[in-house]
């Protein structure tokens, strides 16, 4: 979901600049629904931690959750191979939903059904369902077994989410669609197109949801729809259908799904988004959603959340909402990605992103970031400052997980650069404790007397919270090393 986002320059990401001077306030939120995205494909929270942060989510202004289970769902039967060893149990899923209900947070489950299928297609037993044999990210839409697989996944998740009003079927970043052997053969037949292939499969999955769960409406990420012409989206232009899918006379995608327009950029193009909303409405979509980001969208290995970037992103989305007809956007999903995909490293952990989430939710709730809103955020978090450099001390706050934010801030802003300096520039280390020496585990005993005190000072400084301030450029490279 994040692969197309532009990475933020490292030297600019950490300090929250003062937005309060120029901020204007509307006094109410144009987004009736404000969902926090829980991405469980990396460092999934324990249920006991969720019990602590759900009340905070609600207090900050959230009224829903988008839960992306990936391999953390307790799939059973022939789908059991999809679940991680540490997946939640059915009883834990029920407890999570109970906690959400207690805190008035409506839950929308998300299951990827087309792109980002790495956690499914990495398995040898399912590799034959790949669109391109070499790549495990995209499902082959031509095989009946593909639709049966995602249908079974949806049904198992829905069995633990009875009464869910919406179900997110993913369908973003369907890379290499049309490049598989079956697709190339199908595309040779006029007037078939890649867009038609995408719409046909979306329609098939959404129709499954409608048939099996008639009170549940599917959501889809919108990026695969953006470049499809309006007349093709609406069904006025139509090709043939993949052989494994039923052949209705016109596209029913606008009647079946609600697109989620996602953009995580700090410089989001408001005018282009307004035009896109207009296009979707003319194509027949009755309701649309927005998707912003409070973390996990500024670098695959990002360690600390650049609050200013995400604040700007939400201010831009407020402008979009204020420029389209009322009730066009049903709500907004504040995404918080844990990984860019199933195989990437972790980006910011959930506790690290909580201050950014607090800022973003309050901005959406109050329509701006005036001084009184900033004070409310600091009060909610139990901190006297939202500057990243202050999260290294007791001023990190008293919210659940603030101790993790404290430690990661210390490591990212001080320890990584300090250790790099020791390993790369200290003459005793480079001369007598090089990578060659470390691999072979030998060193002149005398050199230990020179190296050990420096190493202990660095580790002791982090443990005791006594890290010295570092220049912004050093902080940026440190986060990249984390």
Which residues carry out catalysis? 173
- pLDDT at residue number 244: 52
Question: Tokens standing for 13?
Answer: 């990401």
Q: Is 389 a domain residue?
A: no
Q: Is 412 a domain residue?
A: yes
Task: Tell me which residue of 120, 317, 110 sits closest to 220, measured CA to CA.
Answer: 110
Task: Give the whole-angstrom CA distance, residue 283 versus residue 288.
Answer: 12
Q: Is 43 a domain residue?
A: yes
- The ranges of the chain with pLDDT < 50 are 3-5, 9-15, 17, 243, 246-249, 463-482
> 395-448, pLDDT tens digit by residue?
568 999 999 998 898 887 765 566 666 667 778 878 888 888 889 998 888 888
Note whether 234 and 295 are same-domain residues.
yes
Q: Is 130 a domain residue?
A: yes
Note whether 415 and 365 are same-domain residues.
no
Note whether 287 and 356 are same-domain residues.
yes
Note whether 239 and 355 are same-domain residues.
yes
From 354, 369, 384, give the residue that closes a domain. Answer: 369
| Element spanning 5, H or E | none
Q: Is 8 a domain residue?
A: no
Task: Give the whole-angstrom CA distance, residue 70 versus residue 193.
Answer: 30
Task: Tell me which residue of 380, 348, 346, 347 sits closest to 361, measured CA to CA.
Answer: 380
Q: Is 285 a domain residue?
A: yes
DSSP state of 139: B
- pLDDT at residue number 482: 29
CATH for 226: 3.20.20.80
Task: Give the whole-angstrom CA distance, residue 410 versus residue 122.
Answer: 36
What total number of domains does the chain contain?
A: 2
Q: Which CB contacts under 8 angstroms, 24+ apart, belong to 419-426?
A: 419/458, 420/477, 420/478, 420/481, 422/454, 422/455, 422/458, 426/451, 426/454
Three-class SS of residue 35? strand
Note whether 324 and 418 are same-domain residues.
no
Q: Is 1 a domain residue?
A: no
From 351, 369, 387, give the residue that closes a domain. Answer: 369
> 227-283, pLDDT tens digit by residue?
999 999 987 665 555 645 544 446 899 999 999 999 999 999 999 999 999 999 999
Please name every residue paired with 292 in a beta bridge, in sequence order, or none if there are none. 334
Mutual angle of helices 47-60 and 371-381, in 10-degree steps: 160
Full-model pTM: 0.85
- pLDDT at residue number 467: 38
- pLDDT at residue number 281: 97
Note whether 52 and 141 are same-domain residues.
yes
Note whether 365 and 412 are same-domain residues.
no
Note whether 283 and 426 are same-domain residues.
no
> 126-145, pLDDT tens digit by residue?
999 999 999 999 999 999 99
Q: Which residue has the tokens 């030297």?
A: 11
Three-class SS of residue 448? helix
**Domain limits at 467?**
408-481
Task: Give the whole-angstrom CA distance, residue 349 versus residue 44.
Answer: 9
Three-class SS of residue 110? strand
Note whether 453 and 357 are same-domain residues.
no
Note whether 272 and 185 are same-domain residues.
yes
Strand runs (DSSP E) across 113-208, as ranges? 166-168
- pLDDT at residue number 466: 42
CA distances from 30 to 265, 280, 284, 324, 466 (A): 20, 19, 22, 10, 44
Note whether 330 and 454 are same-domain residues.
no
- pLDDT at residue number 448: 84
Note whether 358 and 428 are same-domain residues.
no
From 369, 394, 428, give the residue that closes a domain. Answer: 369
Q: Is 477 a domain residue?
A: yes
Pseudo-torsion of CA 15, 480, 363, 173, nearest 10°? 150
């Amino acid at each position: 979901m994040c692969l197309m986002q532009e990475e933020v320059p490292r030297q600019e990401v950490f300090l929250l600049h003062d937005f309060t001077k120029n901020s204007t306030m509307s006094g109410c939120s144009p987004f009736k629904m404000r969902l926090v995205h829980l991405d469980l494909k990396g460092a999934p929270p324990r249920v006991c931690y969720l019990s602590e942060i759900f009340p905070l989510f609600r207090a900050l202004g959230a009224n829903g959750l988008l839960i992306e289970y990936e391999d953390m769902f307790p799939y059973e039967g022939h789908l059991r191979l999809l679940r991680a060893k540490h997946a939640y149990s059915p009883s834990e899923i029920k407890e999570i939903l109970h906690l959400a209900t207690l805190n008035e947070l409506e839950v929308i489950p998300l299951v990827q059904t087309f792109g980002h299928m790495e956690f499914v297609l990495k398995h040898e037993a399912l590799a034959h369902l790949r669109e391109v044999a070499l790549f495990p990210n995209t499902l082959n839409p031509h095989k009946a077994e593909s639709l049966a697989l995602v249908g079974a996944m949806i049904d198992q998740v829905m069995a633990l989410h009875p009464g869910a009003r919406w179900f997110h079927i993913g369908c973003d970043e369907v890379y290499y669609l049309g490049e598989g052997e079956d697709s190339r053969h199908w595309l040779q037949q006029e007037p078939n197109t890649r867009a038609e292939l995408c719409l046909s499969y979306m329609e098939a999955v959404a129709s499954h949801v409608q048939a099996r769960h008639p009170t549940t409406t599917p959501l889809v990420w919108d990026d695969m729809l953006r470049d499809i012409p309006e007349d093709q989206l609406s069904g006025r232009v139509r090709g043939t259908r993949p052989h494994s899918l039923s052949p209705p006379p016109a596209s029913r995608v606008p009647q079946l799904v609600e697109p989620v327009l996602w953009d995580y950029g700090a410089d989001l193009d408001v005018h282009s988004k307004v035009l896109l909303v207009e296009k979707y409405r003319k194509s027949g979509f009755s309701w649309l959603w927005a998707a912003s980001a409070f973390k996990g969208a500024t670098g695959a290995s990002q360690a600390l959340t650049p609050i200013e970037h995400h604040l700007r992103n939400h201010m831009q989305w407020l402008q979009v909402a204020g420029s389209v007809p009322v009730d066009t956007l049903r709500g907004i999903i504040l995404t918080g990605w844990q990984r860019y995909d199933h195989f990437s490293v972790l980006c910011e952990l959930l506790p690290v992103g909580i201050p950014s989430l607090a800022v973003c939710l309050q901005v959406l709730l109050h329509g701006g970031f005036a001084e009184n809103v900033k004070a409310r955020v600091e009060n909610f978090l139990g901190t006297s400052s939202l500057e990243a450099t202050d999260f290294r001390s007791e001023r990190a706050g008293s919210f659940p997980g603030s101790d993790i934010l404290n430690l990661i801030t210390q490591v990212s802003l001080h320890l990584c650069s300090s250790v790099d300096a020791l390993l790369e520039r200290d003459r005793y280390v480079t001369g007598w404790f090089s990578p060659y020496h470390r691999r072979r585990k030998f060193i002149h005993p005398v050199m230990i007397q020179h190296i050990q005190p420096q190493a202990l000072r660095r580790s002791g400084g982090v443990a005791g919270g006594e890290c010295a301030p570092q220049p912004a450029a050093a902080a940026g490279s440190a986060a990249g090393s984390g």
